Amino acid sequence: MHILFLGDVVGRTGRDTVAAALPELRARLNIELAVVNAENASHGFGLAPDMARTLFAAGADVLTLGNHSWDRKEIIPYLAETPRLLRPLNYPPGTPGAGSVVVELPDGRRALVLSAMGRLFMDALDCPFRATAVALAKYRLGTSVAAIVADFHAEATSEKMAFGHSFDGQVSVIVGSHTHCPSADHQILPGGTAFQSDAGMCGDYDSVIGMEKAGAAARFWRKMPGERLQPAEGATTVCGTFVVTDDATGLATRIEPVRLGGRLSPAMPVV
């Protein structure tokens, strides 16, 4: 299976660029499952229903959220009625929405996609390791589902690596989101799970993690609250991860970064 994961979509230019680029990426890389983290799509904070619909229409099979899940209140009823829009599964019981979904592909194969959020330097949530283990216990990779994709939305690289090694061999791919900077540690772990600490953002890299430089830098200089941060709206780099899995086992055989447009050096797998 050919899988594409795109990192945090930031602001209007990020979502417009992703909406324009995703159909071409799906065709160019023969993508069968596309997962997009969209928690920063609305002015850098949250996701609105119309924006989710646009990304679904462009070819996203599943959208994931994170610590900004609730920044746009109108997403709450939409989340509750849209199974392919995920908030982290380790929110407490009773939280609207779900943290995992099984997607059926056109050829009849099924793929499990799940979202979990770390706890180091993040909101105090239930344990993402235990919550993920509970979710995975319901499925068997390579039999009940052909692939399993996990978006681990976390700040600390150590927590992301520990998460990756904890579930190595149980899922097809674990990709980190949240830090907005693509890491260079893409690899297939010893048990066969593809891993990358962070896919990077789909946003303007002439910025401070996608936000206009002046306002963001001023907060570090003065340590005082200022105006609400605004997304940078220069040229967007679409950042993500491309993974190929074995049809028999569901484990990964290939992982490569995807970087298209904007300021970062390009990276495009050859298929």
**Tell me, what CATH number does 115's domain have?**
3.60.21.10
Residue 176 domain-assigned (yes or no): yes
pLDDT of residue 74: 96
Determine, yes or no, domain membership for 267: no
Hey, how many other C-beta atoms are within 10 angstroms of the C-beta on 185? 14
| Helix pair 49-58, 11-28: axis angle to 10 deg | 20
The pair of structure tokens assigned to 140 is 């068997």
pLDDT tens profile 3-20? 999 999 999 999 999 999
User: What is the model's pLDDT at position 266?
Assistant: 98
- State residue 145's pLDDT score: 98
Find, among 267, 262, 265, 205, the residue nearest to 242 by Cα.
267
Mean pLDDT of the chain: 96
pLDDT band at 161 (very low <50, low <70, confident <90, very high): very high
- The pLDDT, as a whole number, for residue 222 is 85
Give the separation between CA 171 and CA 191, rounded to whole angstroms: 9
68 is catalytic: yes
Provide the percentage of residues in the chain whose pLDDT is more than 90.
94
Residue whose pair of structure tokens reads 């850098």 in the numeric block: 44
Is residue 241 within 8 Å of residue 258, measured between CB atoms?
yes
Residue in 2, 43, 68, 186 annotated catalytic: 68
* Statement: residue 226 has pLDDT above 80: no
What are the start-end ranges of the E strands in the chain? 2-6, 33-37, 62-64, 85-86, 100-104, 110-117, 147-153, 173-177, 187-188, 194-196, 203-204, 236-245, 252-260
Q: What is d(CA 225, CA 221) in angstroms, rounded to the nearest whole number?
A: 11
Residue 270 lies in a domain: no
The pLDDT score that the predictor gives to residue 88 is 98
Q: Give residue 223's pLDDT band: very low, low, confident or very high (50, 70, 90).
A: confident
The overall pTM is greater than 0.75? yes
Residue 201, in any domain of the structure: yes
Tell the burial category of 97 from Cβ atoms under 10 Å away from its Cβ (0-12, 13-18, 19+).
buried
pLDDT, one tens digit per residue, over 41-83 is 999 999 999 999 999 999 999 999 999 999 999 999 999 999 9
Other CB atoms within 10 Å distance of the CB of residue 107? 8
Q: How many domains does the chain have?
A: 1
Report the sign of the C-alpha dihedral through residues 154, 159, 165, 166, in that order: negative
pLDDT, residue 114, reads: 98
- Residue 268 domain flag: no
List the domain range (segments joined by +) for residue 94: 2-260
Above 80 in pLDDT, residue 251?
A: yes
> Domain for residue 266, yes or no?
no
